[in-house]
Homo-oligomer: A and B are copies of this chain.
Amino acid sequence: MYVCKVGGSAGIDLDSFCDDVAQLVRDGQRMIVVHGGSHETNRVAEALGHPPRFITSPSGYTSRHTDRRTLEIFEMVYCGSVNKGLVERLQARGVNAVGLSGIDGRIWEGRRKSSIRAQNGDRIRIVRDSYTGRVERVNKAFLDSLLDQGMLPVLVPPAISFEGEAINVDGDRAAAVTAAAFGAEALLLLSNVPGLLADFPDEDSLIDRVERTQLDTAFDAAQGRMRIKLLAAQEALAAGVGRVVLGDARGAHPISRALAGAGTVVV
Contacts and interface: CB of A to CB of B under 8 A. Distances in A.
Contact of A106 (B84, B96, B103, B165): B96
A2 interface: no
Q: Max chain B CB contacts within 10 Å: which of A47, A96, A97, A98? A: A98
Given A80-B76, A165-B88, A98 B93 contact: no
A179 interface: no
A87 B100 CA distance: 11
15 contacts: A47-B49, A75-B80, A75-B81, A76-B80, A76-B81, A84-B103, A88-B103, A88-B160, A91-B160, A92-B165, A94-B164, A99-B104, A105-B149, A142-B149, A145-B145
Contacts of A83: 79
A72 interface: yes
B100 A100 contact: yes
Contact of A80 (B81, B106, B163, B164): B81
Interface in A38-60: 44, 47-49
Given A76-B76, A84-B103, A99-B101, 6 more contacts: A47-B47, A75-B80, A78-B80, A80-B81, A94-B164, A105-B149
Interface string A60-84: 0000000000001001111111011
B81 A164 contact: no
Contacts of A106: 91, 96
A176 B158 CA distance: 31
Contacts of A47: 47-49
- Rank and list the top 7 A-B pairs by shortest CB-CB distance, nearest first: A80-B80, A92-B164, A76-B80, A76-B76, A91-B164, A75-B84, A98-B104
Contacts of A164: 88, 91-94
A44 B72 CA distance: 12
Interface string A85-126: 101100111101111110111100000000000000000000
A197 interface: no
Contacts of A84: 75, 79, 101, 103, 158, 166
A6 to B, nearest CB: 18
